[in-house]
Structure 1
Amino acid sequence: MSRTADYLTELAEDAGVVAELEALTAYAALVGNAEYAVETFEDAYAGEWESLEDFAHDQLMEMDDEYRAAMESCRGWRPELDMIAWECDYSHTASGHVFRTL
């Protein structure tokens, strides 16, 4: 493990944060501050996805009844989403992790 990973692991353990090290490391790199990353990780982490667009579609399927009904009635159809709006609220890392903007 690198020094950064060791440091993040130690911070997380001290704070009682249970996190996958790869996701926590990606978040720390995204926010640029290890202490802040550990403090906010559990609120920010949204999971691992192939793309932010896949995450957005999944969230809409879970939360929006009209969207889900349209998707279920038109198999194979996938509407175009305003990804700029999603990028204002979420970040997708190269390792596939999605984080809410806090």
Structure 2
Amino acid sequence: MSRTADYLAHLAEEAGLMIEDLEALTAYAALVGDAEYAVRTFDDAYEGQWDDLEDFAHDRLMETDDEYRAAMESCRGWRPSLDMIAWHCDYSHTAGGHVFQSI
């Protein structure tokens, strides 16, 4: 384990966090540039691991937007284009596939 991962694991343990995926926490710390902030906000920011941000966006819309879900269910095989610039304003997708909400 690298020194950064050891340090993050130590901070998470001190904060009482159960960090099962240290890789995701390490990616988040690199993204925000502050290990202590990353440990404090990880649970609120982490959205899971996805192939790309567009897949995450479509899945999120299926879960949260009734009109979007109805359109998708009535038009099987159709996938609308999304304003990915707007999604990139609110979410980040790392090289390891982790998605984090901007908080």
**What's the offset of the Cα at 1:3?**
0.6
Instruction: Structure 2: give runs of 5+ residues left out of the alignment.
Output: none
Query: Counterpart in 2 of 1:41?
Result: 42
> Runs of at least 4 residues of structure 1 off by over 2 A?
none
Q: How many residues align?
A: 102
Superposition RMSD in Å: 0.7
Matching of residues 1-102 of structure 1 within 5 Å = 1-19=1-19, 20-102=21-103
Shift of 1:60: 0.4
Q: TM-score, normalised by structure 1?
A: 0.97
TM-score (norm 2): 0.96
Tell me, in whole angstroms, the C-alpha distance in 2 between the residues paired with 1:17 and 1:101: 20
- C-alpha distance in 1 between matches for 2:28 and 2:17: 13
Distance (whole Å) between structure 2 residues aligned to residue 52 and residue 67 of structure 1: 17
Sequence identity percentage: 78
Q: Matches of 1:24 and 1:17 in 2, distance apart?
A: 11
Q: 1-side partners of 2:58 and 2:16: how far apart? A: 32
Unaligned runs of 5+ in 1: none
In the alignment, residue 77 of structure 1 is paired with which amino acid?
W
- Aligned-pair distance for 1:87? 0.6
Letter in 1 for 2:12: A
